[in-house]
Amino acid sequence: MAISLVAGACGDTKYDYPESSTNRDRYKNQPAGTDKTNQGGLFGAKGLNLFGGEDKKKGDDSGIAVNSFLWRGALDTISFMPLASADPFGGVIITDWYTPPETPQERVKVQVLILDRDLRADGIKATVHRQKLTPQGWADQPVEPKTATDLENTILTRARQLRIAQLGS
């Protein structure tokens, strides 16, 4: 029963609803061809701005909540790993487990947090998890702190390259 209701709602039937006098009065002074809807959209009047977030006015809370160059730099840097989750509004990127072909008995997982709207060195935090295959299954292994720092520096370098490329064009 519920499936037929949902399927029926997806049909090509077009309904003409009478316009109320309230709506007529509200829009009667609009220029011809102007859409009568709110024009705000899901992501605000300007839409979603993933690239070039630097041109936003301070205090504008629409669009991506983190620095777009850090976001793109992080995605580019870890692009060889499968993504488990990516949230541009919260600034969180989580990869799935990745097993390098050279070491099939080991796997790694990365979490990247983008903490700021500005392109700053302290605007990013990376966490690396490593596991090794044992007879009992996968076991957590320690990761050198330098590994996460190197990953953060690689992301920052890529973000700077993207910003320079955008300024040059």
Residue-wise pLDDT for 112-151, tens only, equals 999 989 999 999 999 999 999 999 999 999 999 999 999 9
Kindly tell me if the per-residue pLDDT of 98 is higher than 80: yes
User: What ranges do the domains of the chain cover?
Assistant: 65-168
Helices (H), 10-67: 21-27
Distances (CA, A) of 110 to 48, 62, 117, 155: 26, 28, 21, 13
Residue 142, C-beta contacts closer than 8 angstroms, at least 6 positions apart: 130
Q: Which CATH entry fits the domain spanning 65-168: 3.30.1360, 3.40.390, 3.30.530, 3.40.190? A: 3.30.530
For residue range 44-83, what is the model confidence (pLDDT) as tens digits?
Answer: 555 555 555 444 444 444 466 789 999 999 999 999 999 9
